[in-house]
Amino acid sequence: MECGTTILAIESSCDETAAAVVADGRRVLSNVVASQVEEHKRFGGVVPEIASRMHAEAIVGVVSQAMEQAGLGYMELDAVAVTAAPGLIGALLVGVNFAKGLCMSTGLPLVPVHHLRSHVAANYLSCPELEPPFLALIASGGHSHIVNVNAFTDYEIVAQTRDDAAGEAMDKVARALGLPYPGGLHMDIAAANGRRDAYTFPRPKLGVNAQSTGGALGFSFSGLKTAALNQINSAKQKGTAVNVEDFCASFREAVCAYLTEHTIRAATETGLRTVVLAGGVCANSRLREMAGARCNAGSLRLYLPSKALCGDNAVMVGAQGCHEFRAGHTAGQDFNARATFDIAENLCS
């Protein structure tokens, strides 16, 4: 289904300042990303204050470049979409306030977009034939959700993490192993040459009564992360070496098996036969491989975003923004960014 709109999209939820022009929710006319990775690498993770300042410095140039690449004027757009939640509040405010100012000066509608919905929408660009309903696993540095996507703007949470997210656990363990930022990426690289059974980690289980997180389908990564950190610290105290490649391969295996198992179980319980992966963690090569094998064995259709669209970008914001605009989800100048917000709720309500 196409929206028949041309959207300028802006993303600034964390450490990427991005802008893109997307037509019909599927066609990319421009895509510009100003990455802050090298700056934050010095600190081993994202520093919110630095991220906000760098967004403010980059956003004018990034948006101008996106419009120039698209070869369009502002009056040829239908709306401006912007990531409005969730994320680092200072970083979000840069994008939202810029978008509000642009809408005020041009008269274009403002379309707030949920960051996690955008990650799901990356699949509409990589797989143009994909349409709801389907089941989606959203795994990133700050979020681990399983959701029913009933329609393009109709989401229902099936399960979520009750503490840490998968990406956060990977990043923290990678940092303890001495790997550079971003940790999850470098863990995946190191794991390619490691043994998956060299180290043992617990597989967390939630009780069926944990309703706020999806009962037994929910996630908990804090214990898994702590077990890994304890093994690393114990080895240091004993003066024994940790085989980084083996450790990465074993930890990655535990995380990916956990995510995949719960996703397949959720598909079975909901009866949905189409499964979608979304979010930065879904660039992980082992997760993609494992999910592919399990879906194939269960006769489920699996859709994956291209690795280039797994991380934060504005193209995915434009894709979801088209559908939010079609649904009439626009906001006025009194709208504000939110650090947290439920994916199942409408940002404009």
Cα torsion angle, 123, 86, 20, 151, sign:
positive
The percent of residues in the chain predicted with pLDDT above 70, rounded, is: 97
Query: What is the reported pLDDT for 349?
Result: 76
- Residue 133 banded pLDDT, cuts 50, 70, 90: very high
| Span 190-209, average pLDDT | 86
Contacts of 206 (CB under 8 A, 6+ apart): 162, 213, 214, 215, 216, 217, 218, 219, 220
- Residue 203 banded pLDDT, cuts 50, 70, 90: confident
Can you tell me the distance from the alpha carbon of 26 to that of 323, in angstroms, rounded to the nearest whole number?
A: 11
Opening angle at CA 238, ends 234 and 243, nearest 5: 70
| Span 49-71, average pLDDT | 98
For 237-280, how does the pLDDT look when each residue is reduced to its tens digit (9 = 90+)?
999 999 999 999 999 999 999 999 999 999 999 999 999 999 99
pTM for this entry: 0.95
Query: What is the reported pLDDT for 33?
Result: 96
122 touches 320 (CB < 8 A): no
Contacts of 164 (CB under 8 A, 6+ apart): 220, 221, 222, 225
Query: What is the reported pLDDT for 1?
Result: 43
**Does 225 score more than 90 pLDDT?**
yes
Classified by CATH at the fold level, domain 132-304 comes out as Nucleotidyltransferase; domain 5 (3.30.420)
Question: Which residues make up the CATH 3.30.420.40 domain(s) of the chain?
Answer: 6-120+310-326, 132-304
Burial of 332 (0-12, 13-18, 19+ CB in 10 A): exposed
267 touches 169 (CB < 8 A): no
**Does 212 score more than 60 pLDDT?**
no
Among the listed residues 65, 179, 45, the one whose alpha carbon sits nearest the alpha carbon of residue 15: 45
Cα dihedral 189→39→317→268 (10° resolution): 30
Strand 16-23's sheet: what is its strand order? 27-35, 16-23, 6-11, 79-85, 110-114
For 157-192, how does the pLDDT look when each residue is reduced to its tens digit (9 = 90+)?
999 999 999 999 999 999 999 999 999 999 999 999
Can you tell me the distance from the alpha carbon of 165 to that of 217, in angstroms, rounded to the nearest whole number?
A: 14
The size of the chain, in residues, is: 349
Query: What is the reported pLDDT for 205?
Result: 73
CATH: 3.30.420.40, 3.40.190.10, 3.30.70.270, 3.40.30.10. Which one for 6-120+310-326?
3.30.420.40
For 21-49, how does the pLDDT look when each residue is reduced to its tens digit (9 = 90+)?
999 999 999 999 999 988 998 888 899 99
Query: What is the reported pLDDT for 321?
Result: 98
